[in-house]
Amino acid sequence: MFRIKICGVTRSQDVRMIARSGADAIGFQMSQGPRKISPEQARRLVRQVPPLVTPVGVFVNEALFRVNKLVKFCGFQAVQFHGDEDEIYCEKAPVPVMKVIRMKNEVTYRAYRGFQVAAYLLDSYNKNIPGGTGKTFQFSWARRAVQELSSPVLVAGGLTSDNVQKAIRASHAFGVDVASGVEVRPGFKDPRKVSLFIRHAREALKASAEY
């Protein structure tokens, strides 16, 4: 499973730049929001993702048949489910699944302990927005989830190069995910922000592994 993911990518130049900067995965929003792209766009972008970087399709409450179709058409190697997808739904996905848990409170994650998924992604809760809120949640909540969940836990929600090390130190998470924190505007990534984020995340993840 990847450790550093840059999400909400919409442009070819950003795919190349993110890969050069050392990200492990690149996310493509297929369902909703300002970073949503068409299947045709996603297919073109995925073809530019180099080996050893994982292209991830990001979905919110999509019909499973459409997820399966787009995984095949676009070439996604993993999927991220941001909605109300249940355990059975996740088990039927054709590629590894990262299930997003929107942390409404410190024990929200407990409802997902039985899921058979490759990883979990803890994100901020907003009743009106399934993701990409740009807001953080209490990283101490993630620490408990890391201890109790059986699959690797990544954290997201309002991360930037300034706070990603704090998030990793506080949570001991396996990895991190970012979208708005490395942008100049939705879907347009800033090379400097991306580079700093990845560098700071790598430093903290290495230190956490040695702890």
Q: What is the distance in angstroms between the CA of the first residue and the CA of the last residue of the chain?
A: 20
Helix (H, G, I), strand (E, B) or coil at 190: coil
100 has which bridge partners?
121
Active-site annotation holder among 7, 14, 74, 177: 7
With contact defined as beta carbons under 8 Å apart, do 179 and 188 qualify? Answer: no
Q: How far is CA 71 from CA 42, 98, 99, 179, 189, in A?
A: 10, 14, 16, 21, 24
Active site residue 7: yes
Helix (H) or strand (E) holding 204, with range, is helix 191-210
Contacts of 65 (CB under 8 A, 6+ apart): none
Active-site annotation holder among 74, 90, 123, 177: 123
Q: Report the sign of the C-alpha dihedral through residues 169, 174, 180, 184, in that order.
A: positive
The closest alpha carbon to 157, from 171, 186, 178, belongs to: 178
Active site residues: 7, 123
